[in-house]
Structure 1
Amino acid sequence: MAEKLLPKALRIRCKCSSDHTDTKDSFSAKQALIYLKAHLWYSTQDVVNALRLFLDAGSDLAGSLTYRYDLVDLTRQVLSKLANQVYLDAISAFQDKDVNALSSQSRKFQQLIKDIDKLLAADDNFLLGPWLESAKKLALNPSELRLYEWNARTQVTMWFYTTKSNQSKLHDYANKFWSGLLEAYYLPRASTYFSHLLRSLKENKSFKMDDWRQEWIAYSNKWQAGTETYPVKARGDALAISKALVEKYFG
């Protein structure tokens, strides 16, 4: 089963057929990959239509904190479902050995992460910064400060008990759609994944799952041990950003 690139709403899983001869940590374009789309309780187009109606009310409700929260959350949901399809299109391109299409879809997927991060940054409720700062405020000395920040970073990402090439079974268990987390953590993970896919096509070799795992697990460990700070206050106009993203992706 392939790893997830993003939080729950963007997760796509795949299983490889059991009759191939490659190792369990690789797959090739010739293998029969069965992609399991996340079950949806609603029509994606219905949600896009609902978002348009929600945006129409913006001129009257933009000053409401609850309206802006729901607007960001609904726009995030719409874009995450679009990312699901973009991911599947990228994998189809990989199976077809279409380097140009794979490159195009991978760029679109990564741009969606950046755009969702920008959207989330416009509301105080969707920021990574407050989570990390609240953990650090509990510390009574420098040693505790480093431990508490590491714990806070680890809880929303990989958790613990990882090896060089095997992630914790709890990885992404407490994942969050937070600005800062998407661009600093999930974007590099997705970028690494697509880079390995493209390299395998260009070199006409199997995708080495274990190689990718080792690279992103190493990055995850580095990020968890980091001390860089993230904004604790929202920035940007949620209504304007949402309108621009709907126009950009849905016309």
Structure 2
Amino acid sequence: MEGIEQNPVMYDLMSEMAFQHSPVDVKAWIDLYSRRRYGRFVQPMQDAWNILYHTIYNCTDGAYDKNRDVIVSFPDVDPNSISTLQTVLNDVHEQYGKRYLRRAILEEPNDSYDKPHLWYSTSEVIHALKLFLESGNQLSDSSTYRYDLIDLTRQALAKYANELFLDAIEAYKLDDLHAVAHLSEKFLGLVEDLDMLLGCHDGFLLGPWIESAKELAQDEDQERQFEWNARTQITMWFDNTELEASLLRDYGNKYWSGLLRDYYGPRAAIYFKYLTESLEEGKGFDLKAWRREWIKLTNSWQSSRNVFPVKSTGNALNVSQWLFEKYLQDLGSHDH
């Protein structure tokens, strides 16, 4: 399950290549993909997939670890060790027939926090999402369309959440308590909203993962153990101490409804609580207290037995449209 059952387009192409006798023209293959996947041709969808082909599915910088967004891989460091990005506009370049301002990223050295990887124009991806939404009236009866719509909305919102987090860190360094409180609340609200979105499709639910593990058990003790195993694999392996997390944490992270609301959100809230207390009391960030509390939260969550839905609810198109208007609509004209 580590990295499997996501990015269907990659598995579709990979499986087809076994039957090809010559190199695949990926651009031509993508041009036919949306018709095959959704059962009909819709021009905005083909345009959207061409954007995704040139952006999200076109990483050429050699980086391999791309699933380290803040929501699902929260930094376990002192906020003062996190450098905030500075961007300068230094030239204009042509890309796909359009002109873009190229940005040079300036970072402080010796950053102990490995920032989430970003290799594409976020504004272009937001535009692709807009095209997905425009196609909804024609395609919303397709389960594969709803899956891809949720996945793309999730991707755009995850990158936006990364920026909210860095904005909160910058506000903390400026001793701006009001801004930290506002940005923290916005980040946590986004996590709740994202959990609701993911709950609109069976492919993004935590419940089936846990229930499938429990179904393998032959008695109550095994069921408890198998559920603990399932919860541990997607959070943190159990070789932590009270103040030191396992190195194997969040490596199997998932954007699953239930996991965001029940675990990732509460974990982030603990960090923001200590940011706020640091400013209110005029003291340094209590790294030990933060670690003690989030590790305890994790171990408690791993041993808990609460039940999560195995069937989706909600209208994926309506929720995606609402979240687009709430968070992304004003960001589509520039990278963030």
Q: Which deviations, in whole Å up to 9, do the C-alpha atoms of 1:35-85 show, x marking residues without a partner?
A: 654231210111111100111000000011111110000000000011011
Q: Which residue of 1 aligns with 2:214?
A: 136
Distance of 1:15 and 1:162 partners within structure 2: 24
Letter matched to residue 224 of structure 2:
R
Q: Greater CA radius of gyration, 1 or 2?
A: 2
**Pairing partner for 1:206 from 254, 278, 284:** 284
1:86 and 1:105 in contact (8 A); partners too: yes
Q: Which residue of 1 aligns with 2:154?
A: 76
Q: Which residue of 2 aligns with 1:234?
A: 312
1:120 and 1:127 in contact (8 A); partners too: yes
**Pairing partner for 1:185 from 259, 263, 266:** 263
Deviation at 1:4, TM superposition (A): 7.7
Map residues 12-91 of structure 1 onto 2, 5 A cutoff. Answer: 16=81, 34=111, 37-91=115-169
Deviation at 1:250, TM superposition (A): 2.7
Map residues 208-227 of structure 1 onto 2, 5 A cutoff. Answer: 208-227=286-305
Q: Which residue of 1 aligns with 2:182?
A: 104
2:118 is paired with a residue whose SS is: coil
Deviation at 1:158, TM superposition (A): 1.0
Give identity over the alignment, percent. Answer: 50
Letter matched to residue 176 of structure 2:
D
Distance of 2:135 and 2:234 partners within structure 1: 34
2:270 and 2:294 in contact (8 A); partners too: yes
Deviation at 1:189, TM superposition (A): 0.4
Distance of 1:15 and 1:83 partners within structure 2: 19
> CA separation of 1:235/1:195 partners in 2, compared to 1, >3 Å: closer, same or farther?
same
Q: Which deviations, in whole Å up to 9, do the C-alpha atoms of 1:131-189 show, x marking residues without a partner?
A: 00000000001110000000000000011201001111000011100000001000110
Distance of 2:194 and 2:127 partners within structure 1: 19
1:127 and 1:234 in contact (8 A); partners too: yes
1:165 and 1:213 in contact (8 A); partners too: yes
Distance of 1:151 and 1:36 partners within structure 2: 27
> CA separation of 1:118/1:76 partners in 2, compared to 1, >3 Å: closer, same or farther?
same
Letter matched to residue 16 of structure 1:
S
Letter matched to residue 120 of structure 1:
L
Deviation at 1:6, TM superposition (A): 2.3
Letter matched to residue 249 of structure 1:
Y
Q: Which residue of 2 aligns with 1:149?
A: 227
Distance of 1:220 and 1:91 partners within structure 2: 23
Deviation at 1:196, TM superposition (A): 0.4
Number of aligned pairs? 235
Q: Which residue of 2 aligns with 1:120?
A: 198
Query: How big is the alpha-carbon RMSD for the aligned residues of Structure 1 and Structure 2?
Result: 2.2
What TM-score comes out, normalization by structure 1 length?
Answer: 0.88
> CA separation of 1:12/1:66 partners in 2, compared to 1, >3 Å: closer, same or farther?
farther
Deviation at 1:16, TM superposition (A): 2.7
Q: Which deviations, in whole Å up to 9, do the C-alpha atoms of 1:172-228 show, x marking residues without a partner?
A: 011100000001000110001000000001100000111101001001111100000
1:230 is paired with a residue whose SS is: coil
Unpaired runs of at least 5, structure 1: 18-31
Deviation at 1:15, TM superposition (A): 7.4
Distance of 2:114 and 2:315 partners within structure 1: 36
Q: Which residue of 1 aligns with 2:72?
A: 7
Distance of 2:290 and 2:76 partners within structure 1: 17
2:177 and 2:279 in contact (8 A); partners too: yes
Instruction: Check if 1:172 corresponds to 2:250.
Output: yes
Distance of 1:220 and 1:135 partners within structure 2: 19
Unpaired runs of at least 5, structure 2: 1-67, 83-108, 330-336
1:207 is paired with a residue whose SS is: coil
Q: Which deviations, in whole Å up to 9, do the C-alpha atoms of 1:74-128 show, x marking residues without a partner?
A: 0000000110110011001000000000000000000110011000000000000
1:12 and 1:84 in contact (8 A); partners too: no
2:196 and 2:257 in contact (8 A); partners too: yes
